[in-house]
């Protein structure tokens, strides 16, 4: 039985990668999360001629939301008020949506699901992009309540 060679991303290489790996991690298994991420980068490298980190960055950029809706209670009614998203939350939401969309895919290992979702998001398709578009549509539909935002 061949021993599996573990290829890790250098620790502290990029804060964005570290945040992504921490969000990918379940039950404190950071080494497994790192391995899944590096395997996903390998899959991206075989599927496309672009550098994997560029695909990763482009995918996060494409999924990043600019506006979202927040519930606001006014005189007993709850309105969905569109508000701009601050940069830290933009990053958090894009990571959360990509990982959620990758976890929803069935039938293949997590590294492949993550790689496919990152490739789809970098090409402006996939479930994470659909989530972003749904949030944008909701914000546009409720534009009339924008004056209620603080």
Q: Can you name the CATH fold of 15-148?
A: Ribosomal Protein S7 (1.10.455)
Give the residue extent of every domain in the chain: 15-148
pLDDT for the residue numbered 148: 81
142: exposed, middle or buried (Cβ count in 10 Å: 0-12, 13-18, 19+): middle
Predicted local distance difference test score (pLDDT) of residue 5: 56
pTM for the whole structure:
0.87
- Cα–Cα–Cα angle for 113, 93, 44, rounded to 5 degrees: 30
Residue-level pLDDT at 145: 84
| Helix, strand, coil fractions of the chain, as percent rounded to 5 | 60, 10, 30
Per-block mean pLDDT, blocks of 10 residues, the chain (150 long): 56 82 94 94 92 93 94 90 94 96 94 95 95 95 84
């Amino acid at each position: 039985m061949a021993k599996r060679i573990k290829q890790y991303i250098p620790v502290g290489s990029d804060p964005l990668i570290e945040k992504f790996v921490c969000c990918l991690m379940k039950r404190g298994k950071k080494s497994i999360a790192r391995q899944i991420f590096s395997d996903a980068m390998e899959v991206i490298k075989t599927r496309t001629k672009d550098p994997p980190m560029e695909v990763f960055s482009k995918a996060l950029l494409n999924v990043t939301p600019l506006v979202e809706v927040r519930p606001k209670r006014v005189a007993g009614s709850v309105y969905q008020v569109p508000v701009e998203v601050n940069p830290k939350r933009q990053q958090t939401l894009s990571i959360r949506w990509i990982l959620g969309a990758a976890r929803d895919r069935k039938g293949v290992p997590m590294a492949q699901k993550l790689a496919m979702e990152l490739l789809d998001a970098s090409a402006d398709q996939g479930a994470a992009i659909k989530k972003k578009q749904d949030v944008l549509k909701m914000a546009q539909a409720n534009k009339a309540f924008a004056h209620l935002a603080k």
